Chains A and B, each alone.
Chain A
Amino acid sequence: MIERRGILALVAAAGIGAGTVGFGKRLAEMVPLTSRGRRALHPIYGNANTPEWLRDGKTDALKLNPQWTVRHTVDLQCHSECGLRVKIDRKTGRVQRIIGNPYHPNTRSDYVPVSTPMVDTMRLPGTVCARGNAGIQSAFDPYRILVPLKRKGARGSGQWQPITWDQLLREVCDGGKIFADTGDTASKDIDVLGFRGLYAKRAEMMDTKAPELGHRTNGLVFQGGRIVGSRMAFAQRFVHTFGSVNVFDHVNICELSHHVATRHIYPGVNMTQPDVREAKFILYWGTQPGNANFPMQTQSRFVAEARSKPDGLQYVVIDPVLSRGGVVGDRADWVPIAPGTDGALALGMIRWIIEQKRYDARYLACPNQKAAEAAGELSHTDASHLVIVDAAQPKARTLLTADLAGLGKAAGKGDADRVVIDVATGKPAKAAEIAVAEIDYAGTVNGIAVKSAFRLLREAAAEHTLAEYAAICGVAEQRIVSLAREFTSHGKQAVSTMYRGVVKHPNGYYNGAAVLLLNLLVGNLNETGGLTTGGGGYGVQTGPYEVMSVPEAAGAAFGVTLPRDGVRYEESSEYRAKVAAGQNPYPAKRPWFPLGFAMFSETLPSAIARYPYAADILIWHKATPLYSVPSQGNPEMVAAVKDPKNIPLIIAVDIVVGDTSMYADYILPDVSYLESWCHVDTYPTTLTKGTGLRWPMVRLTGTTADGRHFCMEEFLIDVAKRIGMPGYGEKGIPDSAGKYWPLNRREDWYLKATANLAATKGVGGDVVPPATAEEIAIADLAPFQKDFASALKPGEWPEVLGVMVRGGRFEPASGAREGSKLSHRFTSTLHFYAEETATTRDSMSGAFFHGTTRWVPPTTARGKPLEALDDPKQWPFTIVTLKGALQTHSRLSSNYALREIMPENGVRMATSDAAKLGIQSGDWIFVVTPEGRRRARAVVVEGIRPGVISFNAGYGHWGYGASNYDIGGQKVAGDAVRRAGINLNPVMRRDPDVWQMSLMDLVGGSVVFFNTRAKVEKETVHA
């Protein structure tokens, strides 16, 4: 008995003793409150945030919690650029929370007028989406680079050396054998020109035999990724002053053909949007509420509001993939169209609408704005305007002018110079001078064969029967009819709107034009519940200060851009030389894009192919072409980029070592959106006028010797000053009186742009009041004002601070409408017929583009039908990308809060396709294209058209912290969370006839994302 008790006591002592020792640390943590072993802020709430505002229990008044600073800025987690309210810890400078800025139209339907004191907005917070909330993780990414890096070893070796700001400036400006210390045999002997050397050639021509190519300084190329608004203007100011025309952002990989098609129908306008809240019927083509569109969260909220009204909105999503917003059910429907055939469906609808005479004939017969307004309309079109269709005429394909029609000299351009057939007389007349014109006309005027623009569209639509259109787009004939009937059953409260799904095809421009032309048939522009071009933004470039003005550099930048946009091939010396030599000038060596702009995808291959000239210095600003451009991440292209002989100096301006910046020679640490400046306009969706102000919430990058934080702007300023460019330094920015102000730091420029914003003429109720002492305290702006006091005239500061505390300047929500009309109306002539397009030739075939839309099958640049290129029997699937709500852009891969919600993407495929291949969700599959193969998880869903596979963009990174690299001998380990998922861009289809060119829309300039054919193979042996 004693022995047993002794054993029990021994066991007890051992168990309790060892257990207590093992548990001791945790027991010790119980006395002071700790969170994961570290002392927590509060005994009950731990490290949870305290609120920004403290309420007086007696008076109910709110005042700021002194622990926090509250500031308003603008998001850049997507391109919607919603206003943000940022909560910042005053002690640590750490951002603790991001919600919506209630002054900004994106964040509330009843957003707050700018006249409202900030403290009165505290019970009215705005909303942002999950991306907006998660943005803290973009700025405070542990993979951020905060000092300049120079490569060690070859490009892409993953070896980096931290260098000083001065070394960076010295080497990139002065050039020479700056890579001799890298150990890279391929580049150690290359004599780099540098900024100074290239700038010294600013009077030399790029090619004396081709003067249209401009100066030698066009060898500086700035390829921007996510750079917009006044930040882009800052970069343009530098590049243009340097003498280069090559400064681009990313538009052609995003939605360029959408803009070009819109511009050609709505002259000078890049985007139209529905008045969602009052519309009765909306066709969403190639997009859906809740996915990428402008602005994403606002569009979604408006749709939800409109749909919930008793007689509210019905909408139909026309897209091969059903995503979040494509809810099927009450008042919403989905048409799973075949990729790239939107033009066929739209033309089928147009044909039926015209044949059934369900268009608004009274509206279309108005040949000018005055006549339209007299008829109670809010816009007018060129439906009745006559087009010269006689190919023998020198002016063939142009709109008939008054003098050619024998009507005498016109009093002006536009409608005054256009000719129509007057319904009252049956005779030709100047469009500006009559009230009602014939819209469906074909005949001769003054001996010239002409047709009305409407007639041209009717004939184009009639080129195929409804059955043929149905066969092309995979939508039943009856469904086409029902869509057309519904669209024409709501008067002017029906809208046809689109985003990139329609246009990222070789025939994207024509698809987009067809979709937009539906709106002209019902005459919905400027109408309540119709279409709007929006209120636009306030100018920031002129006013008290001329921030873009560098008189000494006027005209320095000219010539053909590297990707040959905005210029006709026929104006080139190459063309003229071929013609002079009796050769067929077509095709050009690479396509020219006379209607396009910002040809992001053509920048790298053109530079490497040296067509039309080479690049000496390439700056990647948060640009990642190897990741984001279809097919450009292929091994041959990567090898070409790594070869320093192709582009001698590549400088990446980035916040991390990215998927493309990993191949640069230098990486300059840039600021994230929470540290940067920018003025960015609001979108038409919100109907009012507005410009948001992005300004630094925090400052995280390293500093120069004089305390400026490393970023693109400080780099450009220092380069400019070092090589003696005008417009920088003490004689920087002229004011309206001609006095020059210094430009030695970025705030010198952005604060003046903000002063312009504050001073510009308003539209009523939008004057920003001076910031009060309380508001300055809330936003902690007193130290800021002190630091940058000399950047503005003292009298300008109160209003500028007022704009800063409100995060911009915005017209009140009440300014959206005037009775039943939209307040901001676009009154230029809307075009059924795009004269500029019609008179532009395809640089590969020499054929003219079509002036109005028609069904054009997708082809390669040399005109080979894609179906003949990759046989659908061998390649049964078409890849389409999806811009989901949670991941798209590279920077979102650092947002673990978003990755937690959606950690991987996988390849979506239809249940019926999966069943045929014996594939279940979660199976490993190979996606095989003519360009390569990728391994991915299958995600089997019903919401996708059979024959289509899709992946959510933004996954499958190899850079941006996804893989290992070395900085100064310290290994930085890659993170599997960022590697997760699949990116099929690198295996997308290239054009077989143009080196390293993706499939392209030669009219609109878009790169093609949605026409790569593929096959899917189930993995049988696990790799």
Chain B
Amino acid sequence: MSDPTTAVTLRQMTELYNVAHERPYSILFANYSWALGIAGGLALLWVISAWRGDRGRVERFALPLAVAFIIGGFVNVLSEVEQPGRLFHGYIYGWSNWDTAIIKYGIILLPLFLLLSWWLSFQTMPREALDAEIGRLPAPWRQLANFFSFGSGRYSLFDNPPFARVVLVAMAAVGLFAPLYSAVFLMNEHGVPVWKSPAEPLLYLSSAIGIAATLMLVAVPALGWLATGRWEATCAAYRWTAVIALAVCAVVWFGWMAWIALFGSAEALRAASLFAGPYAGPIFWNWTIIGLVVPLVALVTPLGRMKLAQVVACLGALWGGYTIRAVVLLGGEALNRSGAGYLNLRIGAGATWSSGVAVLLFIGFLAALLAATPRGPAPSAKA
């Protein structure tokens, strides 16, 4: 099965396959891009919610989820670079050493994103309850809890509305940066024409928002229930947010392919020929059908009011969003620069191990933040 919009003009360019050559990234980069993208999407949606004054509602559980995605994503990227210390040493040896590397933005803004998300996870907890719970702990644990919560039991950011707005703007900025960064990072990579397109960050951003919106519909209330025992529905508008974001994804993706078919360079066409040729089947099923059609049908139709349909949409969006990142990544670097052929994906043991570790840390940190949530009464919706 091929993708109907791209197959006709591009298929004939497919050449030899499975020819060995160095690839800059493994599947871990797709994992990282996906996880950070979702975290960014969740952050953006939460900022909108918080700006409207809904910071005490169940939407606040988007923040621990974002933290877990960021940490999971970081595990992937630190494994991918093989030289993790370079990220760390950049702080020590001076900004100039990064020169023109795009990474110099990432090593500042992404840790800031993690810190903000972590801090705000605690800041959105009921302060008195948090303070009371910390106060009941033995002294050493109390100090540790204060440290990890940034002392959030003793003050509230939101008591200072101007500063709170500054923080929200900052959170929105890094939330926007996170989904765009991995795409812009690929755009800066030399010698891979298909990664050069501005469609790529648009696609990654809209996909991140679409996924985050479906998570807001089903995952965030579930996390609230896990933490508090109370089921509280999120705003119904997330359904249509998801619909619009996924529709934008579809337009960007098919528009991008059509652009390449009509105006693309030979190198871009060669890459696109993978999407229309050998990759066409996986793309059609995993992205077009599971990632776009199923979620859209599940959300647009009256079925979309049903939780089950929302869960299906969420799972589809998650899987589709991951697939399209993997396809763009692998499709770009699978091509030999001579055009002699392309490389089939083989996931190595190292990548599998690191992916597994990332999942464990994702679950662990998410559970930890949920466990840290005070069990007091729910804060008022407009706290």
Contacts and interface: CB of A to CB of B under 8 A. Distances in A.
Interface of A: 1, 4-5, 8-9, 11-20, 22-23, 26-27, 29-36, 40, 43-44, 46, 886, 899-904, 906, 920-922, 937, 939, 976-977, 980
A35 B83 contact: yes
A899 B15 contact: no
Interface of chain B: mostly helix, strand, loop or mixed: helix
B93 A43 contact: yes
Interface string B16-30: 110111100000000
Nearest to A937: B16
Contacts of B336: 900-903
B353 A16 contact: no
B134 to A, nearest CB: 15
B140 interface: no
B356 A22 contact: yes
B159 interface: no
Interface of B: 12-17, 19-22, 75, 78-79, 82-90, 92-93, 97, 226-227, 229, 336-338, 340-341, 353-354, 356-358, 360-368, 370-371, 375
Contacts of B338: 886, 901-902
A19 B368 CA distance: 13
B361 A20 contact: yes
8 contacts: A1-B229, A4-B226, A11-B363, A32-B85, A33-B83, A43-B92, A44-B89, A900-B336
Given A1-B229, A43-B89, A8 B364 contact: no
B185 to A, nearest CB: 18
Nearest to B370: A8
Contacts of A976: 20
Nearest to A36: B82
B361 A19 contact: yes
A922 B364 contact: no
A909 to B, nearest CB: 13
A17 B336 CA distance: 41
Contacts of B20: 899-900, 903, 976-977, 980
Contacts of B84: 26-27, 29-30, 34
B371 A903 contact: no
Most A Cβ at <10 Å: residue of B14, B19, B78: B19
Contact of B83 (A15, A22, A34): A34
Contacts of B85: 29-34, 40, 43
A977 B19 CA distance: 9
A930 B316 CA distance: 57
B16 A901 contact: no
A976 B19 CA distance: 10
A24 to B, nearest CB: 9
A5 B375 CA distance: 9
Contact of A15 (B14, B16, B17, B364): B364
Contacts of A18: 360, 364
A26 B79 contact: yes
A850 B85 CA distance: 74
A33 B357 contact: no
Nearest to B89: A43
B19 A903 contact: yes
B19 A33 contact: no
Contacts, number: 148
Contacts of B341: 903-904, 922
A70 B89 CA distance: 31
Closest 8 CB pairs between A and B? Answer: A15-B364, A19-B361, A16-B364, A12-B368, A19-B360, A12-B367, A33-B85, A22-B357
Given A35-B83, A900-B21, A17 B15 contact: no
A900 B365 CA distance: 41
A916 to B, nearest CB: 16
A904 B365 contact: no
A937 B19 CA distance: 12
Given A903-B19, A904-B19, A921 B14 contact: yes
B75 A19 contact: yes
B224 to A, nearest CB: 12
B361 A922 contact: no
- Which interface residue of B17, B21, B353 has the most chain A CB atoms within 10 A? B21
B364 A4 contact: no
B269 to A, nearest CB: 13
Nearest to A47: B83
A427 to B, nearest CB: 66
A1 B373 CA distance: 12
A631 to B, nearest CB: 27
B365 A12 contact: yes
Contacts of B88: 30-31
Among B14, B340, B362: residue with most chain A CB under 10 A: B340
Given A15-B363, A903-B21, A937-B16, A33 B89 contact: yes
A36 B82 CA distance: 5
Contacts of B75: 19, 23
Contact of B364 (A12, A29, A46): A12
A50 B155 CA distance: 51
Contact of B361 (A23, A35, A40): A23
A44 B87 CA distance: 9
A939 B16 contact: yes
Nearest to B82: A36
A46 B19 contact: no
A8 B226 contact: yes
Nearest to B11: A920
Nearest to B19: A903
A922 B16 CA distance: 4
Contact of A901 (B89, B97, B229, B337): B337
Contacts of B358: 19
A528 B169 CA distance: 71
A685 B126 CA distance: 83
Contacts of A939: 15-16
A921 to B, nearest CB: 5
B272 to A, nearest CB: 15
Contact of A906 (B16, B353, B371): B16
B78 A26 contact: yes
Contacts of B226: 4, 8
Nearest to A35: B83
Contacts of B368: 8-9, 12, 15-16
Contact of B82 (A22, A32, A35, A900): A35
Contact of B357 (A19, A900, A920): A19
Contacts of A904: 16, 19, 340-341
Nearest to A897: B22
A328 B309 CA distance: 58
B92 A16 contact: no
